[in-house]
Amino acid sequence: MSKPKIAFYWAGSCGGCEVAVVDLGEKIYDVVDAFDIVFWPVAIDTKYDDIRNLEDGEIEVCFFNGCIRNEENEEIARLLRQKSKVMIAFGSCSHLGGIPGLGNLSSRDETLDYVYRKTPVFGNEDGTMPCTTCVKDGNTIDLPALRTEVSALDDVVDVDYYIPGCPPPLPVIEGAVAALMSGELPRKGAVLSTEKTVCDECDKEKRKKMVGKARRIYDDDVDTSLCLLEQGIPCMGPATRGGCKAACPSANMPCTGCMGPPPASQEQGSRMVTAITSLIAVENEREATAEEVAEALASLRDPVGFFYMYSLPTSFLKRRYNDE
Amino acid sequence: MTEESFEPKIVGFLCNWCSYAGADLAGTSRTKYKPNVRVIRVMCSGRVDPLFVLKAFEKGADGVLIAGCHPGDCHYMSGNYKTRRRMELMRRMLEQFGINPERLRLEWVSAAEGARFAHVVNDMTEKIRELGPSPINGGATDE
Ligand code: SF4
Ligand code: SF4
Ligand code: FES
């Protein structure tokens, strides 16, 4: 009997998710024993046609990492969806849009203009810009176009499960792989990690204390035994699902929110507004003017960029607008 | 939608103890004011989760008004201070999203200020009318 087939794919991603799979170490042999890897561009030599030639639903599970940034990402997502029984969004980019999702704060033209014309280290005297068709020696080559927006995987295809994280932490991957191999899977649409928040998993001492303004982690009087947020250091712990065992705060770095919103919350930014404004306030607020309140909060830099670092395309507002 | 036919849709969250009573007073005093605010009564302005604001915009509101008790008067002591902090941060974030922060407004309206409530509603309606429809959901994008 032939083994069930699995596939791995990277769309708009950095490659970190691929490394996370390799981090399984010798456990990857269990996977190889149980499954036949039919497609994995980073590791084995397979072509898109190998996938096109399969029957619909012939792949048992597809692990799809990376966001949908260009037309090729979208085309292959649709193809793999058609050929796979179970489609898994692997990592923050396919789950929520990921860091590339912050690209939705700029238009496509602004992005191209910056990258190809304005980046100081990029020598492009002729002003060559990417195009979707090119003729070389009489042959026409078609290239995928950049989409106007970055999307998460479930914006273009139906997704069965999500493995969160940037990249997904090893225990989370192991748990998901074990669930898949045993066939004991939760309800469709589940995020395969814990229901707790990062704060629940963080062992820093919480004292429910307020501070006058936000600070940065490199300020020298940070007490690393205490909750970072309560010292005014923006930390996404309360607005983020756990499963990583609070990896970043444990190393005295604030959580940036890669595991996405916790189960009880629909999006990270609004949750974080509530959390952080419960902690940062001017003294003697009763007498304070609106300007003083604003000044205390102005110490918090780039709230959209920080609160939605991994989830902008799946947040309520999704992108930047033009409201003159 | 043409300029003349645009009627701003504003979602108004009013706290039970002051602003909702203020709106009631405007009504019982038969004060005329614009019909553009859809009122949602909440127990305290502090009950307004920032998520409600985003959800209102996502569902097509052109503006969101939050009205609560004056500083020092919140029935729950500090709900309105929390609201002031939250909404200040929300307005900054709206700006980053390219949305005019004037679309989100926080006002203090006491139970005795029926006329003030009417003034706030009229003023906000006219300001939003000038801004035009919200760009979220089908509105102008930059491409
Ligand atoms: S806010 Fe950050 S530092 Fe504080 S408990 Fe949560 S995860 Fe830990
Ligand atoms: S602490 Fe936060 S940023 Fe770090 S791995 Fe966990 S969820 Fe991701
Ligand atoms: S009860 Fe009115 S603002 Fe809190």
pLDDT (mean) for A143-167: 97
Q: Which of A19-23, A132-136, A283-287 has the lowest mean pLDDT?
A: A283-287
Cα–Cα separations (whole angstroms), residue A293 to A71, A105, A110, A209, B78: 45, 27, 34, 18, 14
Rounded distance between C-alpha atoms, residue B63 and residue B57, angstroms: 7
Res A128 pLDDT > 60: yes
In sign, the C-alpha dihedral spanning B129, B132, B136, B137 is positive
Residues of B in contact with A303 (CB under 8 A): 89, 92-93, 96
Would you say domain B10-135 falls under CATH 3.40.50? yes
pLDDT (mean) for A303-310: 98
Sheet holding B37-42, edge to edge: B37-42, B10-15, B63-68, B104-108
Buried b (16+ CB within 10 A) or exposed e, B107-128: bbbbbebbebbbbbbeebbeeb
Res B24 pLDDT > 60: yes
DSSP string, A137-148: TTEEEE-PPEEE
Which of B72, B89, B143 is the closest to A148 by Cβ? Answer: B143
**Backbone phi and psi for residue A237, each to the nearest 5 degrees, phi listed first:** -45, -50
pLDDT in tens, A82-124: 999 999 999 999 999 999 999 999 999 999 999 999 988 888 8
CA of A245 to the centre of ligand 1 (A): 11
Cα–Cα separations (whole angstroms), residue A167 to A16, A254, A267: 6, 16, 19
Res A309 pLDDT > 80: yes
B6 CB burial (10 A radius; 0-12, 13-18, 19+): middle
The confidence score (pLDDT) of residue B4 equals: 62
Res A44 pLDDT > 60: yes
Cα–Cα separations (whole angstroms), residue A316 to A117, A286, B136: 32, 33, 10
Res B60 pLDDT > 70: yes
The label of the residue with tokens 């991957």 reads A173
Residues of A in contact with B61 (CB under 8 A): none
Rounded distance between C-alpha atoms, residue A290 and residue B92, angstroms: 14
Q: A220 falls in which pLDDT band (50, 70, 90)?
A: confident
Q: Of A288, A262, A294, give the one whose Cα is nearest residue A275.
A: A262
Question: Are B141 and A322 inside 8 Å of each other by CB?
Answer: yes
The label of the residue with tokens 């501070």 reads A211
Instruction: With beta carbons less than 8 A apart as the criterion, state whether A74 and A68 touch.
Output: yes
Question: Are A321 and B97 inside 8 Å of each other by CB?
Answer: yes
CA of B39 to the centre of ligand 3 (A): 15
Residues of B in contact with A265 (CB under 8 A): 51
Sheet holding A36-39, edge to edge: A36-39, A5-10, A59-65, A84-90, A161-163
Res A53 pLDDT > 60: yes
Domain ranges of chain B: 10-135
Res B67 pLDDT > 70: yes
Res A56 pLDDT > 50: yes
Res B1 pLDDT > 80: no
Any atom of ligand 2 within 6 Å of the Cβ of A256: yes
Residues in chain B: 143
The confidence score (pLDDT) of residue B143 equals: 38
pLDDT (mean) for B1-12: 81
Which of B89, B131, B134 is the closest to A303 by Cβ? Answer: B89
CA of B56 to the centre of ligand 2 (A): 30
pLDDT (mean) for B1-10: 78
Helix boundaries (H) for A191-236: 198-201
Rounded distance between C-alpha atoms, residue A49 and residue A59, angstroms: 14
Instruction: With beta carbons less than 8 A apart as the criterion, state whether B106 and B79 touch.
Output: no
Bridge-based pairing of strands A146-151 and A133-136 is unpaired
Any atom of ligand 2 within 6 Å of the Cβ of A235: no
pLDDT (mean) for A23-42: 90
Instruction: With beta carbons less than 8 A apart as the criterion, state whether A69 and A36 touch.
Output: no
Q: A221 falls in which pLDDT band (50, 70, 90)?
A: confident
Rounded distance between C-alpha atoms, residue A182 and residue A179, angstroms: 5
Ligand 1 atom at shortest distance from the alpha carbon of A275: 1
Instruction: With beta carbons less than 8 A apart as the criterion, state whether B45 and B84 touch.
Output: no
A52 to chain B, closest Cα gap in Å: 34
Query: Higher confidence at residue B68 or residue B137?
Result: B68
Q: How many CB atoms lie within 10 A of CB B20?
A: 23
* For B134, nearest residue in chain A (alpha carbons): A323
The confidence score (pLDDT) of residue A1 equals: 64
In sign, the C-alpha dihedral spanning A240, A242, A248, A253 is positive
B130: Cα separation from own chain's centroid: 16
The confidence score (pLDDT) of residue A284 equals: 85
Q: Which of A132-136, A182-186, B40-44 has the lowest mean pLDDT?
A: A182-186
pLDDT (mean) for A39-44: 94
CA of A253 to the centre of ligand 2 (A): 9
The encoded tokens of residue B51 equal 């998520």
The confidence score (pLDDT) of residue A162 equals: 98
Q: How many CA atoms lie within 13 A of A265 on its CB side?
A: 26
List residues bridging with B37 in a β-sheet. B10
The confidence score (pLDDT) of residue B3 equals: 53
pLDDT (mean) for A266-277: 95
What's the mean per-residue pLDDT of chain A?
94
Q: A181 falls in which pLDDT band (50, 70, 90)?
A: confident
Q: Which residues between 36 and 95 in chain B have a beta carbon less than 8 angstroms from any beta carbon of chain A?
A: 49-51, 53-55, 57-58, 71-72, 78, 81-82, 84-86, 88-90, 92-93
Q: How many CB atoms lie within 10 A of CB A10?
A: 23
The confidence score (pLDDT) of residue B138 equals: 59
Question: Are B84 and A321 inside 8 Å of each other by CB?
Answer: no
The pTM is what? 0.94
Res B18 pLDDT > 80: yes
pLDDT (mean) for A65-89: 98
B65 CB burial (10 A radius; 0-12, 13-18, 19+): buried
CA of B48, nearest ligand number: 3
pLDDT in tens, B74-126: 999 999 999 999 999 999 999 999 999 999 999 999 999 999 999 999 999 99
All structural domains of chain A, each given as residue ranges with its CATH number in brackets, are 5-99+156-182 (3.40.50.700), 105-146 (no CATH), 198-314 (no CATH)
Cα–Cα separations (whole angstroms), residue A12 to A76, A104, A160, B92: 11, 14, 20, 30
